[in-house]
């Protein structure tokens, strides 16, 4: 990450992957300290190395940040995936 003028920051892309986003319900958003419509759950492959406070950018250039302690690895039969709670910034 390289600081630029003002509050802007230039990011470097470390990984590109596909993820499925779903908005969290009003109740679950409140549990994570977020507002409805800004907190999402992302599902992606377990091979992607994701940590708390990592940032995502979607194809519409929206930026999301990974909530602290909100990453779990799950499986559905033989399919393993990561479930990550993210918030739009």
Is the pLDDT score of 3 beyond 60?
Answer: no
Is the pLDDT score of 82 beyond 90?
Answer: yes
Q: What is the pLDDT of residue 1?
A: 44
Alpha carbon 36 to its chain centroid, in Å, reads 15
Judge whether 72 and 60 are in contact, CB under 8 Å. no
The predicted-structure confidence for 41-72, as pLDDT tens digits, reads as follows 999 999 888 888 888 888 898 999 999 888 89
User: What pTM was estimated for this model as a whole?
Assistant: 0.75
Q: What is the pLDDT of residue 36?
A: 77
Sequence ranges of the domains in the chain: 17-88
Judge whether 19 and 42 are in contact, CB under 8 Å. yes
The predicted-structure confidence for 5-35, as pLDDT tens digits, reads as follows 455 556 666 668 888 899 988 878 787 777 7
**Cβ-Cβ contacts under 8 Å for 25 (sequence gap 6 or more):** 36
Q: What is the pLDDT of residue 6?
A: 52
């Amino acid at each position: 990450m390289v600081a630029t003028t003002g509050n802007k920051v230039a990011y470097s892309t470390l990984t590109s992957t596909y993820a499925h986003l779903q908005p969290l319900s009003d109740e679950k958003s409140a549990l994570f300290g977020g507002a409805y419509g800004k907190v999402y759950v992302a599902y992606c492959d377990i091979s992607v190395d994701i940590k708390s406070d990592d940032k995502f950018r979607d194809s519409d250039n929206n930026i999301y940040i990974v909530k602290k302690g909100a990453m779990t690895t799950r499986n559905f039969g033989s399919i393993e995936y990561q479930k990550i709670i993210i918030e739009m910034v």
